[in-house]
Chains A and B, each alone.
Chain A
Amino acid sequence: MIKIKALSKKYKKSTHFAVDALDLDISSGGIFGVLGPNGAGKTTLISMLCGLIKPTSGNFSINGMNYQENRMELKQSIGVVPQEYSLYPSLTAWENLQYFGAMYGIPAKELGQLIEEQLKNNGLEDFTHKKIKSFSGGMKRRVNLIAGILHQPKVLFLDEPTVGVDVHSKAVIIQNLKKINKTGTTIIYTSHHLREAEFFCDTVAIIDHGKIISVDKPEVLIQNTPNAIHLEDVFLSLTGIKLRDYA
């Protein structure tokens, strides 16, 4: 269970709050989507939950733990799949995964088996000892995902896990994420692919100007929005059609 209370973040040189006194409860075991336009505060919220940046005020807990008191235990229990390919290009898939797995203290033998298994599940068994720099975008995205789930986290944060990948890779990634979720892992997911979120997430929160403007199951949100057929209609209805360009 993730409990967020009056969580705020204001960057030093900014005049407004990126996340503004946000309250949210996310129940365990589900797939929770955080959706919003550019600059709405999604990445800031996820970055705070992952321990990458410190909140200006407010607090939160993940399965009863927080970064002040249980820093290492909390980090051990979460998995993060960043939007960038967070891999060493000159290392092979195997070497990358071995290194990131070791950072979670997974015993060497077990780690080897897990890597083999995951590479096979993601159709990468023939590329185990190839350097990442020779991989396509879709292949890198799959290795990026494996690096975040090797230690079987209780909560998995995904930032745009399917951005820029081909249809086949996307299908494999979504299929694997659903499989992971079935093992009890809570998934927190951000994306601009609203159609994907509609079918993938159990619950979605639409966030704008650092505040949550709506939280519910996708089908309920669609039902409660006049003339809405898809989540995209709900999103536009709630956030407007004004462009959100930030520099």
Chain B
Amino acid sequence: MRKLFASLKKEYLLLSRDIGGLLILFLMPVLLVITITLIQETTFKSVRGANVEVLIVDRDHGKISEEIKKNLQEIPFLQPISTLEEKAITEKQASQLVAKGTYQLAVVIPEGLSEELNVLIDRNVEKIISGFSGGTEENSYSKEQKAPPKTIRLYFDPATQQTFRSSVQFSVEKMISKLEAQFIYKAFEQELGNSDGLQAMRTQNFVRFEKINPSLSGGEILPNSVQHNIPAWTLFAIFFLILPLSLNLVKEKHQGTFIRLQTSPVNYLTLVSGKAILYLLVCLLQFLLILGIGIFLFPQIGLPELQLQGNLFLLLIVTVFSGLAAIGLGVLLGTLFSTQEQAAPFGAILVILLAAIGGVWVPVFAMPGMMRHLATLSPMNWGLEAYYVLFLRNGSLVEIAPYLLALFLFFVVTAGIALLVYEKKKKV
């Protein structure tokens, strides 16, 4: 026990005097979590509230185009512009301005849209009504109904992101569908006379949507970028300790201190345990530090406050098990490699790969099929899923137990291989 305590004290002294190592372990994850959450949050806000100016090329000059302009104004993040220097905008002009990036979006309303849509709706409504009253006008309209559909062209700045394009396209499509429905109801009103029911259906939505975020415990959780980023980047930080830990082991071999320790009456397990305990404490400190930042600092810099949905004790348990998995891997790399030049780049790339595969950057559900299977092999994915169960689903020990078991087995296997490699190396 005294040997273990002495090892722990030595590791503490070495780490506390290693400024670079401390920066990697504490400052880097803090900067990462703040920067990435700020970027994600401001990107989201900029789409919602940046008032993206939209060029409107009105070749219709009708009722529908007026309604489109009015409705575009109601979309929170769009600011329609119909004239430039008091002149109507042409399609060619709009195309050039968007291509240059002066504007991000142009909407071209085709000529005759109002007139043709009105005619089409009126005829269809009349056809339906005459169908009910046993009329024979069906055949006379059938040919005219096959007129080609009108196209509203959306010009996008090539530099805009796909998410922005999808968002705009969805909003415009929704608005046009709504307008079409309103015009159809209006046509019915004109044919059948004013009715409160029809008017209500034209002006009010019958179907509404309510967003619910269910949790395993029954309550509701409101997820946001903070709730997603804190667990993801905490885990990234925990696994980044592979780097200083493996370098610590490699350095000992080079300093010659490892030779002295190999000839001392102390086993490899005790030496490694001293490091493992210290780095586990580091994991817990990293977690509490990032948690504190999420709870206390984020609201001060305009970010949503981290909501501690899960039991803090369970969160600490997930941290310990994730830390063990990272330590096992760090010890294995430190035992396998003999130079810092080998261990440092390999360790760094491995952590980034495990993070990418594990869903730290891109959620696993958004990955292609093959990658989704691969994700289940990354210990970072096990840790992340366990954190999500607690942070976002309000789960219990039962739900996180499989992930904890996987992380622990990973630690046992990697540490076991490290011990075998150490013994084998001694045979030379």
The CA of A50 and the CA of B426, in the complex, are separated in Å by 12
Contact A88 B262 (CB under 8 A): no
* Chain A residues whose CB sits within 8 angstroms of the CB of B257 once the complex forms: 86-88
Closest to B10 in A: A99
Whether the pair A51, B262 counts as a contact (CB closer than 8 A) is yes
Name the residue on A nearest B258 (C-beta).
Answer: A86
When distances are taken between beta carbons in the complex, the residues of chain A under 8 Å from B264 are 75, 100, 103-104
C-alpha gap A85/B261 in the complex (Å): 13
Among B255, B259, B263, find the residue whose CB has the most chain A CB atoms closer than 10 A.
Answer: B263
- A95 engages B256 (CB within 8 Å): no
**Interface: A102 (CB within 8 A):** yes
Q: What 1/0 flags go to A72-99 for Cβ under 8 Å of B?
A: 1101101010101111111100010011
Taking CB atoms, residues of chain B closer than 8 Å to A73 are: 265
The 0/1 profile, CB within 8 Å of A marked 1, for residues 1-45 of chain B is 011011101100110011000000000000000000000000000
Q: B263 to A95, Cβ gap below 8 A? A: no
Q: Which residues of B contact A89 (CB under 8 A)?
A: 255
Known: A91-B13, A100-B264. A84 touches B6 (CB 8 A): no
Q: How many residues of A contact B (CB 8 A)?
A: 32
Contacts of A53 in B (CB 8 A): 426-428
State how many angstroms separate the Cβ of B192 from the closest Cβ of chain A. 90
Report the interface size for chain B: residues with CB under 8 A from the other chain: 25
Chain A: which residue is nearest B270 at the CB level? A103
Contacting pair B17 A90 (CB below 8 A)? yes
Residues in A neighbouring B265, C-beta threshold 8 A: 72-73, 75-76, 103-105
Contact indicator A100/B260 (Cβ below 8 Å)? yes
CB distance from B275 to the nearest CB of A (A): 13
Does A120 have its Cβ within 8 Å of any Cβ on chain B? no
Please encode chain B, from 408 to 428, with 1 for each CB lying within 8 Å of some chain A CB and 0 for all others: 000000000000000000111
Residue contact B6 to A99, C-beta cutoff 8 Å:
yes
Output the least CB separation between B264 and chain A (Å): 4
B428–A12 CB distance below 8 A: yes
Residue B266 at the chain A interface, CB threshold 8 Å = yes
One of A54, A72, A87, A148 near B428 (C-beta < 8 A)? A54
| A185 CB, min distance to chain B CBs, angstroms | 15
* Alpha-carbon distance between A104 and B261 when the two chains are bound, in angstroms: 10
CB distance from A27 to the nearest CB of B (A): 22
Which of B9, B256, B257, B264: most chain A CB closer than 10 A? B264
Q: Are A51's CB and B263's CB within 8 A?
A: yes
B5 to chain A, nearest CB (A): 8
Which residue of A is nearest B427, CB measured?
Answer: A54
| Contact B14–A90 (Cβ < 8 Å) | yes
Contact of A84 among B14, B255, B266, B427 (CB under 8 A): B255
Q: In the bound complex, what is the Cα–Cα distance between A54 and B428 (angstroms)?
A: 7
> With the chains together, A104 CA to B255 CA distance in Å?
20
A147-B263 contact in complex given A86-B255, A99-B6, A102-B6, C-beta closer than 8 Å: no
Q: How far is the CA of A95 from the CA of B7 in the complex (A)?
A: 11
Chain A residues within 8 Å of B261, by CB: 103
B6 adjacent to A82 (CB under 8 Å): no
Q: How far is the CA of A91 from the CA of B264 in the complex (A)?
A: 19
Chain B contacts for A78, CB-based, 8 A? 263
- Tell me whether A84 and B259 are in contact in the complex, defined as CB-CB below 8 angstroms, given that A53-B428, A105-B2, A105-B265 are known contacts: yes
Residues of B within 8 A of A88 (CB): 10, 14, 255, 257
Could you tell me which residues of chain B, from 230 to 285, have a CB within 8 Å of some CB in chain A?
255-257, 259-266
> Please, which residue of chain B has its CB at the minimum distance from the CB of A52?
B262
Majority DSSP secondary structure for residues of A touching B: loop
Q: Do residues A103 and B255 form an inter-chain contact, with CB atoms below 8 A?
A: no
Q: How far is the CA of A12 from the CA of B427 in the complex (A)?
A: 9
Q: Is the CB of B426 within 8 A of A80?
A: no
**CB neighbours of A54 from chain B (8 A):** 426-428
Q: Quick one: closest B residue to A103, CB to CB?
A: B264
Residue from B3, B7, B259, B428 in contact with A82 in the complex, judged by beta carbons closer than 8 Å:
B259
Nearest Cβ on chain A to B19's Cβ, whole angstroms: 10
How far, in whole Å, are A96 and B103 apart by their CA atoms in the complex? 67
Once the chains are docked, how many angstroms separate the CA of A40 from the CA of B9?
40
The docked-state distance in angstroms from the alpha carbon of A7 to that of B5 is: 38
> Judging by beta carbons under 8 Å apart, are A80 and B260 in contact?
yes
Residues in B neighbouring A75, C-beta threshold 8 A: 263-265
Select the residue from A76, A80, A86, A89 with max chain B CB neighbours within 10 A: A86
Residues of A close to B18: CB separation below 8 A: 90
A80 to B256, CA, bound (A): 12
Let me know if B2 and A102 touch, CB within 8 A. yes
In Å, the complex CA distance between A182 and B230 comes to 64
Residue of B nearest to A49 (CB): B263
Q: Which residues of B contact A82 (CB under 8 A)?
A: 256, 259-260
Please indicate the chain B residues that have their CB under 8 angstroms from the CB of A103 in the complex: 3, 6, 261, 264-266
Per-residue contact bits, chain B 78-117, to A (CB 8 Å; 1 contact, 0 not): 0000000000000000000000000000000000000000
Chain A residues within an 8 Å CB radius of B427: 53-54
> Complex formed: what's the CA distance from A72 to B266 in Å?
8
Known contacts A102-B6, A103-B266, A105-B2; decide if A86 and B426 are in contact (CB<8 Å): no
B263 cross-chain contacts in A, Cβ below 8 A: 50-52, 75, 78, 80
**Which residue on chain A has the smallest CB distance to residue B15?**
A90
**Chain B: CB-nearest residue to A83:** B256
- CB proximity of B427 to chain A, nearest CB, Å: 5
Chain B residues with Cβ below 8 Å from A52 are 259, 262-263, 426
Tell whether, in the assembled complex, residue B259 and residue A80 are in contact, meaning their CB atoms are under 8 Å apart.
yes
Beyond A80-B260, A104-B264, whether A11 also contacts B2 by CB under 8 A is no
A148: chain B residues within 8 A (beta carbon): 260
Question: How close is B6's CB to chain A, nearest CB, in angstroms?
Answer: 4
Question: Given A11-B428, A80-B260, are A87 and B6 neighbors across the interface (CB < 8 Å)?
Answer: no
Could you pull out 11 A-B pairs where Cβ atoms are within 8 angstroms? A52-B262, A53-B428, A54-B427, A80-B260, A84-B259, A86-B257, A91-B14, A91-B17, A99-B7, A100-B264, A148-B260
Q: Which 4 A-B pairs have the closest CB atoms?
A: A84-B256, A102-B6, A86-B256, A75-B265
Q: A80-B263, A105-B265 provided; 4 other pairs, C-beta below 8 A?
A: A53-B427, A82-B259, A105-B2, A105-B3
